[in-house]
Structure 1
Amino acid sequence: MFSNNDINFEALKRKAYNGRWATLEDGIIPLTAADPDFRTAPEIEQGIIEYIKDGYLSYGPFSGLPEFKKSVAEYFNKEKHGSFSPENILAVNSAAQGMFLIASYVLNPGDEAIILDPVDFLFKKSVETAGGKVMLCPVNTITGEIDFEKMVSLIGPKTKLISICNPHNPLGKVYSKETLIKISQIASAHNLWVMSDEIWSDIIYDQKDFHTYSSVSKEAKNKSFTVYGFSKSFGIAGLRIGAVLCNDEEVLNDFTEKSNFNSTIEGVSTLSQIAGSVALEKAMPWYKEFLSHLQQNRDFTFRMLEKSEILTPNLPEATFVLFPKIENGMSSDEFAQHVLQQGKVAVVPGSERWFGKGAEGHIRICFSTSHEILEEGLTRIISSF
């Protein structure tokens, strides 16, 4: 199901944007945007077809279809130690939109938000779009550990929010229950909101346990938002479907109101919600096979880079990206340009633009493709030097 023969390259060259096949000239292998090269689960395709058979595509409830909210709540409760009811779920147009809405709900212009460094650029962008000021809390690029001493020192009278990425993109770290409790204690002591981006929480290796942030303590449950999406685990990025989860129903109602999700101004395509619902209820066998394929690709990438002497790899506990350290003295941008021109492989440089100041000296490699494409891409990177 996840071999090279299962990839429709013609379709990818027509449809896979965001730095991937449709945006690059022929002959270049994209190991860039974190998006699978495989078609989505047949159950999801079928679910969409079944839904539109009667020809009705009416408005759904503005906060989300009941079946969508129910399936997200049940999934989090069963798989991630959550304690959510359907009333704790709001359907949004992607995890990214959820992050932006939360930042604008919690922050007034001039307020400060603590984000991790390095981390995906959307954290910084969402805070700045809301008029907030970003405070960077360093993360060890080898272990993924958070510098809690620094975190506490960053908190001042204008601090309102701590944003975490769990599992961490691009380091692939899964934060333990103990680490999350520590964050909740710090947040509670200073009356801060916490936003936990958990879009990667389905792609976890070696049966490692995952705790959704709000489950780890009473404090975490009382003052947090969780963000979730389907693009990584089910390959439906183009359907733009995600969810915001919040255990405080009153807060979520206010959030829904202020985010304009209580009228036809906002709201999510019903087709996208059906796809999300079907994914969680019927496509789990597909997803489990996908996860197994990804783990093999992770191990293979690690072994290959370990021998390269050009890049020192990390072994991610989650996600389908690696964030190896550049060992030949090149900057992240120089390295990415070199492998694009000499090796015909596109990777994401660990530049401030994409991941913050702490990312320099690394590149990000995405491995959610076939073994054959991955091997060819890695061979080209290594032999381009």
Structure 2
Amino acid sequence: MLAHRTSLFKSSGTAAARAAAKAAADAGKEIIDLTAGEIWADLAPTIRDGAIKAIERGVNRYTDTVGLAELREAIAIKVASETGQSWSLEEIAVTAGAKQALFNTALVLFDPGDEVIIPAPYWTTFPAQVLVAGGMPIHIETRQNGYLPRIEDIRNAITSRTRAIVVNTPGNPTGVVYDEATLIGIAGLAIEHDLWVIFDECYGPFTYDGRAHHPIVSLVPEVRSKTVIINAFSKSLALTGWRIGYLAAPKEVISAVKALQSHSTSNPNVIAQYAVLHHLQTGDGSYEAELKSRLIASREAGLEILGDLKSVPFATAMGGFYFYLDLHEVLAAATNGGSPRTADDVVTALLSSAGVAAVSGSAFGDPFGMRLSYGADRDKLELGLRELVVTLNKGI
């Protein structure tokens, strides 16, 4: 028999979507894969050079459990620049990607029975890791407010067992960017009710149409003592496979994370650490600017194509690199008095009839949504979206 906790969660829905796309491709079908949460881009020269130099120096030993001191200091400088506040290396822990940062955070902050408020649709890993820690995810719906949580809804969800609020901006899967008023309101609730804020800003560099990403601790400095910032280089440097993330938090949280990580993975990959350190020390921002320029072009081209959809509201795609489609009307027409249909049915039909792989909103707690990544190759993206528009306009 397996441990009871294994019944609390399933494999990642996004990973399952990628696997389904690969299986179809392996079977000989031409597939345009728009499932992955990554940007198809060449490696940054600074990352490559940093890795090569580390290998040539024969780097192959353990580092400090939560990362090289030099890397933590460089990240502290980065966070200081982004928040306008001073940070020390004792407030930084380097992890094997943002997922481990979140996992560590859940295990050091949450006791069995603790409630954690998570706006829906949500990234599939948020509730899974709360459950692993013995906590209880409490979801609040955001669809009717453009996927932005209402402060009154968060307030109404707070109970005596509430321990934290998860904030993901720009959001995965919806691309919503939290405005200043919403973040200030959430910070106020956290202070009033003595709650933690888990602030996931992995898509922070990617906002569009004049919008801006705002660190919550910059808007309300008083909430810093109850905030854990989660970030990674996976998205901003197109390094998903290198697995380097970090968390910035009060020293006592970092101390607990260090003890926990010493019994799980120990230090993150040492070559990847040196590569990121080299980039932080020598990068001039040109790689990041080029990456965002590519995403802007892909977003604009994609929105133009998706504008031809007949029964799907316009996808605003405020931030990140996803189009999130509301399929309510499509599904209502497909059901037409018969068995209820969900986004799973749409995703299955797209894969089989159009060769386009997408992620069903079911993975994000939303049976009426669908996520499409525009981090994919530009030509394939445009072809895939055109096929999708034709298929959805004909009806599922």
Aligned residues: 362
Q: Is it true that 1:35 corresponds to 2:46 in the alignment? A: no
Aligned to 2:380: 373
In 1, the alpha carbon distance for the partners of 2:318 and 2:108 equals 32
Residue 339 (structure 1) aligned to one of 321, 340, 350: 350
Deviation digits for residues 205-234 of structure 1 (CA, Å, limit 9, x no counterpart): 245332222222233111111110111122
1:77 to 76, 80, 83: 80
Deviations 1:233-260 (A, max 9, x none): 22221111100101x2233223322x23
Which amino acid is the alignment partner of residue 302 of structure 2?
Answer: T
Q: 2:364 aligns with which of 355, 371, 376?
A: 355
**Would you say the 8 A contact 1:41–1:283 is kept in 2?**
no
1:129 maps to a residue whose letter is: V
Aligned to 2:306: 305
Distance 1:159 1:378 in 2: 41
Contact 2:196 2:227 in 1 (8 A): yes
The residue aligned with 1:176 is: 179
Q: Sort the Cα spacing of 1:141 and 1:287 in 2 relative to 1 into closer, same or farther, 3 A.
A: farther
Displacement after TM superposition at 1:118 (Å):
0.9
What's the counterpart of residue 275 of structure 2? 275
Give the C-alpha shift of residue 328 in structure 1.
2.0
Cα gap change, 1:315 to 1:254, in 2 (>3 Å): same
Correspondent of 1:244 among 241, 247, 263: 247
Give the 3 Å change call, closer, same or farther, for CA 211–85 of structure 1 in structure 2: farther
Partner of 1:220: 223
Q: Pick closer, same or farther for the CA change 1:218–1:164 going to 2, 3 Å.
A: same
Identify if the C-alpha distance between structure 1 residues 317 and 381 changes in structure 2 by more than 3 Å, giving closer, same or farther: same
SS in 1 for 2:149: coil
313-322 or 324-333: which moved more? Answer: 324-333
How many Å separate the matches in 1 of 2:299 and 2:252? 42
Name the structure 1 match of 2:339: none
- Structure 1's 283 and 46: CA in aligned 2 closer, same or farther, altered over 3 A? farther
TM-score when normalising by structure 1: 0.88
Corresponding residue number in structure 2 for 1:158? 161
TM-score for both structures, normalised by structure 2: 0.86
CA contact (8 A) 1:172 1:316 kept: yes
Q: Deviations over 1:276-314 (max 9, x none)?
A: 223444162112111011011111111211112143332
Once the two structures are superposed, residues 153-185 of structure 1 have per-residue CA deviations (whole angstroms, 9 ceiling, x without a partner) of 211111111111111111212212332121111
Separation (CA, whole Å) in 2 of partners of 1:265 and 1:381: 41
Change (3 A) 1:20 1:138: same
Where do residues 170-209 of structure 1 align in structure 2 (5 Å cutoff)?
170-206=173-209, 208-209=211-212
Letter in 2 for 1:254: A
Give unmatched runs, 5+ long, in structure 2: 1-16, 335-341
Structure 1, 214-223 or 131-140: larger mean CA deviation: 214-223
**Which residue in the other structure is 1:291 paired with?**
292
Partner of 2:235, secondary structure, is helix
Q: Secondary structure at the match of 1:215?
A: helix
Give the letter for the 2:387 counterpart.
Answer: R
Match for residue 258 of structure 2? Answer: 256
Distance 1:66 1:208, change over 3 A: farther
Matched AA of 1:337: T
Identity of aligned residues (%): 27
Question: Structure 1, unaligned stretches of length 5 or more?
Answer: 1-16
Give the Å deviation of 1:264.
Answer: 8.4
Is the Cα contact below 8 Å between 2:322 and 2:373 reproduced in 1? yes
Give the Å deviation of 1:42.
2.2
Q: C-alpha distance in 2, partners of 1:125/1:313? A: 30
Tell me what 2:390 maps to: 383
Confirm or deny that 1:124 pairs with 2:149: no
Corresponding residue of 1:112: 115
CA distance in 1, matches of 2:68, 2:300: 39
Indicate conservation of the 8 Å contact 2:106/2:129, yes or no. yes
